[in-house]
Amino acid sequence: MGKSLIIVESPAKIKTLRKFLGPKYFFESSVGHIRDLPQKGLGIDVENDFEPTYVTMPDKKEVIKNIQEAAKKADIVYLAPDPDREGEAIAWHIASILPKGTKLKRTAFQSITKAAVQKSLENPRDIDMDLVNAQQARRLLDRIVGYKISPILTRKVKRGKSGTSAGRVQSVALKLVVDREKEIEAFLPVEYWTLETLLQPKDNPQSFSAFLYAVDGFKVEKEKGEKPCFLISDQKTADALVSRLKKAQYKVGEVDRKEKKRYPVPPFITSTLQQEASRHYGFSVSRTMSIAQGLYEGIDLGPDGSEGLITYMRTDAVNVAPEAIAAARQYIESTFGKDYLPDEPKIYASKKTAQEAHEAIRPTSLDRDPESIREYLTIDQYKIYLLIWRRFIASQMNPAIYDTVSADIETDQKMVLRATGSVIKFKGYLAAYEEKRDPSSTAEEDENGKILPPLVPNTPLDLKDLTSTQSFTKPPHRFTEASLVKELERLGIGRPSTYASIMNKIQNREYTTKEGQTLKPTELGKVICQMLEENFPRIMDVTFTAQMEDQLEQVADHNKNWKTLLADFWKDFFPLVEKAEKEASVPKVLTDLDCPTCGHKLQKIWSRNKYFYGCSNYPTCPFTAPIEAVDFKKEDYDPDFDWEQSCPNCQSPMVTRHGRFGPFLGCSKYPECKGIVNIPKKGEKVYNPADLPSCPALGCDGHLTARKSRFGKTFFSCSNYPDCDVIVNTLDQLEEKYNAHHQKTPYVKKKGFPRKGRGAKAAKEEPKPKKKAATKKKK
């Protein structure tokens, strides 16, 4: 038997596969896609049944050459890109460039282990054209939307070279972020008060807390809802209730004792792994997927060689192979005991759109527990592998069991209090793993650990303490990358393979920015979203986008023709494009502010990356001003600040200016003089220029000035910057960094200043003579 060629998608797998399969096989890698739609032009013949034009990617010519040469030497070629629709399409593209007559089969590795690889090679199949066509339909839809809408946005928004882009799923993700920000901005906090008592039974020294639950027959709520309720919305009401509670008599009313079970969650799929990695470690979606990719493709385990540690990481199915479930059950019994093992294996149901051929993300072998191979993993790899390991084991364990108690406390003042508590009786799966919650989770808080004394109805109680606490309702939380992925998945939008790229696109295009772990839309993002909603409402319709995903699933299931799907979409989409090319614009926003020049109303007008104020009476009144200048209020800043001070460089008058990092005083002779003074906010330390030392550079006539970094931190630099590059974070560093005796001084560009010193810019060297360009001799 001759040699077999295996073509994989990633070269990282080859080392692991070579160890398993030996010399009968040789390998090549496509390094991802080898063909795609052209970079210029639509690349789709709309008039010819939406026939795509695929071209060789510029950086893949050598890769294709190597694959073709290798295929000539092989008796059979196994196409083994990743086991998803993207991988199926890559296999199809590779098949199209192989020499005629090449014998080929499709095989896919759900995990990179010896048993899984050999089983896959023993059961090859043909390329699944339904999966290929589903990927083609998705790719062409995305190209049509991006190619037709993005130029319109770039022209209308006038953003310059950086441009703008729109995407079928990307734009909906942006809409979710923008809509959430609108909710936050429109949110009005509602005041509410919480009344808490500390009570003690007459015959028991153990006290416990109980909160006011109902007044005069109405349940106490934070804010008004559909049902009648009692609101404690101000201190006056709270004080009146406190007075009634102080003179009340207390006794135990109805006591409800229950056993509560908390069930384990399924093993990871792509989205849930991304969410948990964010909650536990603060990892971005793309970082998590990059780490998981390495664990799937293979890790060098020293004497054992390279092994794939997890199953394929782009999946939306929670299926698990029977042999893996059996191994998990054996591990649970031997590690935790029989009490933790269910009588029957747990089988989880995937959602209807999941690719059932896939497995959930799990360890490929339970013989390699995280601690035993920790020395071979990076810190990030260990963290992700530990999560996957624990979640998989926990998914096959018994539920945790709590004893919960809820007791109503009755009074003679027509007021009812409630005390709750729970104690964990059996840890169950929590002995292995506990899922973290998002900050925005609406799930009830666990009362675990809050133990109540034995409470018997009609037992009298003594009031030991009484507190009233003011609080305010909070707006909804901004999305994190993980919670946005969760929402997209809930709505049925996007695929496991697309979530990471969606997160990257809305951030790289500066449509959103990160504040901590949360996503906040930029002004540009809001403008793009508004333009798309006004001109392409169906593209921004969450329901429509989810329906398109369903239709793509129908293509994969051989229930819909992929070109019919494209034709139906184009029929409704193209008229909107034609209309938008003529009519689309960034709308001006009329405000309630009066123009300081003529008294007409100001309006917000978009320019490049942000709004500015302009008079609605333009062109009669040409008044314009930055948003920051009009909204600026001196009372927000240090009351002792000298607004009338002179320029520290040339003594000319200073004027208030506005930059990226806030307001500052700038020299009125700018750009001839670049003197500036930072304006401190209330409570911020003020540095008087007269109290700051002179610049230590020899020959420099400047002095140190306090400035702000883009992160809001104060630092000190020479007033002659950029001609002088003296800079320190604190004044204490001055002596250490720039010796007071000028033995070590920074290089200063100005003529006559010395060019030497620690931490300074290197002195310019004499220019070296240029070598003459070699000329080829004519034959």
> What is the set of active-site residues?
312
> Residue 727 pairs with which residues in a beta bridge?
717
**With the C-alpha atoms ordered 725, 730, 733, 735, is the resulting torsion angle positive or negative?**
positive
Residues of the chain by 3-state class (helix, strand, coil), percent to 5: 35, 25, 40
Q: Concatenated DSSP letters for 131-195?
A: HHHHHHHHHHHHHHHHHHHHHHHHHHHT-GGG-----TTHHHHHHHHHHHHHHHHH----EEEEE
Q: Where does 353-448 have alpha helices with state H? A: 379-394
Q: Where does 28-128 have alpha helices with state H? A: 61-72, 85-97, 114-122
Q: What does residue 728 show for φ and ψ, rounded to 5 degrees?
A: -140, 155
CA distance 238 to 192: 9
CA distance 38 to 52: 10
> Residue 703 pairs with which residues in a beta bridge?
694
Q: What does residue 428 show for φ and ψ, rounded to 5 degrees?
A: 55, -135
**With the C-alpha atoms ordered 499, 503, 508, 511, is the resulting torsion angle positive or negative?**
positive
Query: 539: left (phi > 0), else alpha (psi -120 to 50), else beta?
Result: alpha
Give the residue from 573, 489, 559, 440 showing the smallest Cα distance to 169: 489
Contacts of 650 (CB under 8 A, 6+ apart): 667, 669, 673, 675
| Cα 8–chain centre separation | 30
Query: 286: left (phi > 0), else alpha (psi -120 to 50), else beta?
Result: alpha
CA distance 775 to 636: 68
3-14 per-residue burial string, b: 16 or more CB within 10 A, e: under 16: ebbbbbbbebbb
Q: What is the 3-state secondary structure (H, E, C) of 591-641?
A: EEEECCCCCCEEEEEEECCEEEEEECCCCCCCCEEEHHHHHCCHHHECCCC
Q: What does residue 187 show for φ and ψ, rounded to 5 degrees?
A: -70, 135
DSSP state of 393: H
Whether residue 416 contacts residue 409, with contact meaning beta carbons closer than 8 Å, is answered with yes
Whether residue 202 contacts residue 460, with contact meaning beta carbons closer than 8 Å, is answered with yes
Which H helix or E strand runs over 659?
A: strand 654-659
DSSP state of 12: G
| Cα 302–chain centre separation | 35
CA distance 244 to 64: 84
Give the residue from 539, 542, 451 showing the smallest Cα distance to 490: 542
**With the C-alpha atoms ordered 164, 169, 171, 176, is the resulting torsion angle positive or negative?**
negative
Identify the three-state secondary structure at position 114.
helix
**With the C-alpha atoms ordered 64, 67, 73, 78, is the resulting torsion angle positive or negative?**
negative
CA distance 133 to 10: 22
Q: Where does 362-414 have alpha helices with state H? A: 379-394
Q: How many CB atoms lie within 10 A of CB 356?
A: 10
Query: 411: left (phi > 0), else alpha (psi -120 to 50), else beta?
Result: beta
